[in-house]
Structure 1
């Protein structure tokens, strides 16, 4: 598989409206991909729609759009729109997300996340191929949906997958798997579940900063917020970090947020966050690739004296 080198858009330090110039630079810097996210900032589709015009050479992907915050038909319509704007360059990344996002923020139901993801994948494959879909799935029923204008070439669909069951679903029925918050060594374990022929995509959080103490302070806060989410806690249990992260989980469960942050060991921070000068960071990213990662999607974190636009340029594969 041709080596990809992706960037997360929009950037942490600026709005989407102020991202045009830097996004337009990405192809010339050697980036092949731009991937959005959808948590509580920009939605997962609008940045890609704009990037399709601002940087027409990039492959565009969502990493990820939750399957339970939109209806199946709306997901299909949004994906078809992007596939029309970026023919054969759009990749739809979907996933279960988390109870906080689905239920707490979007008044949805986070029930049977594996089944809902599987059912949505199966529906989307039919709908994006232009079929009329009338089917009762395990987690929802669709009656007579057909896209008004199906894409000439259906987009690839990749799944957010953190543990064996979802990883195997991604390998068996989707076009790839997306993961994050893992080390190069963890990539090998994930790759073993999906085999050699399935694209593996991962968002890598990168801090171009040589002040290790400062990076660890910033990174611990990020890690505490993520690794206490049940799906990520289970992921790191599977990866073998259950015991080393136990003090963090105990402090968090007791309501001691500061204690939870402090309880994350340095070695966990250094395993999961790429940091150092730009050359060190690029070398670390290549360790992920050597371990079996097809598409690193960089997410530069603001820190120290290196602004995001400089980090984006220095982290380019040709840098």
Structure 2
């Protein structure tokens, strides 16, 4: 239970030349938001926008939500993280995640095998790089260093990191992956969080977390008098994620919705979406699901629903949606008091 929620801003993907959120980030920093986060899938990368915003700010922390493991060898992510952390005065929060087979195999051309073991090995290598205690080696099997049978030798990072320990967050949806985040990470980045259900779904997985472990939940926030329109906006997003963001036989987003108690609905939504019946897939999403994972409606309603988040294991709200200073201020006032 977190009586004192922290507050961050999740910008999602950088999409186009006009999508420069510098003024939004500056407003968030002025208003006391603790962090700003950017994402990647198979478009913009997560690090470049953070470097852009980091050069224009001085205090707000900078998070990746999330950098995909298969996009870069672990030493490349460690080098990028170290560089950005140095340039921004130690403000980086490094969120990483395994993604799913559709992206890993289809976009990166990498096998999607043993995501838990790969994640553990990946994080171990990054930490060896940052600590700079000795030349980096790893027995593998996923990222052996040096490459067996070749001419390589163990190497040590040339640049001294500003911090030998950069906070690592895991983007995780399954209970085993959440348990891994609690074991080896400084935080967990849940994409879909239903506050009343988190304890039942992940209580055991989170039991091994350290006291300062940060559960930084991404939450769509829409301040409006038109609750119906806000619900429909969340349902449109869920239609895509449940229906099409994953392979037919392996969709982690559909799986998590099932664990929330909507397994039959998730199966039906995916079936309709893949059949091209997207309007029906949209209609099949329960309003209570869309409402449960978001904060929607007039400020008074959002204030009431915030109590559910305060009573949950969530410690940071990463709000998605607000892009103007008055709304950012109103959300700040509700969350931080």
TM-score exceeds 0.5: yes
Pair 1:134-2:137 in alignment: yes
Structure 1 residue 164 corresponds to structure 2 residue 175:
yes
For residues 180 and 279 of structure 1, the distance between their equivalents in structure 2, rounded to whole angstroms, comes to: 25
Structure 1 residue 298, shift from structure 2 partner:
0.5
2:228 to 210, 213, 232: 213
Name whichever of 130-139 and 151-160 sits farther off.
130-139
1:102-142 CA-partner distances (Å, limit 9, x unpaired):
23233333222222212111111111212421212232212
Q: What aligned pairs does 1:208-287 form with structure 2 within 5 A after superposition?
A: 208-228=223-243, 229=246, 230-287=251-308
Deviations 1:68-109 (A, max 9, x none): 111222111111112212344211110111223323233333
Query: Which residue of 151, 159, 175 corresponds with 1:149?
Result: 159
Runs of 4+ in 1 over 6 A off after TM superposition: 10-14
SS in 2 for 1:136: coil
Alignment of 1:43-192 (within 5 A): 43-130=45-132, 131-143=134-146, 144-153=154-163, 154-189=165-200, 190-192=202-204
1:204 and 2:228 matched: no
TM-align CA RMSD: 2.5
Q: 1:145 to 1:294 in 2, by over 3 A?
A: farther
C-alpha contact (below 8 Å) 2:224/2:296 kept by paired residues: yes
- Give the length in aligned residue pairs: 314
CA distance in 1, matches of 2:97, 2:310: 23
2:330 is equivalent to residue 314 of structure 1: yes
Unaligned runs of 5+ residues in structure 1 are 302-306
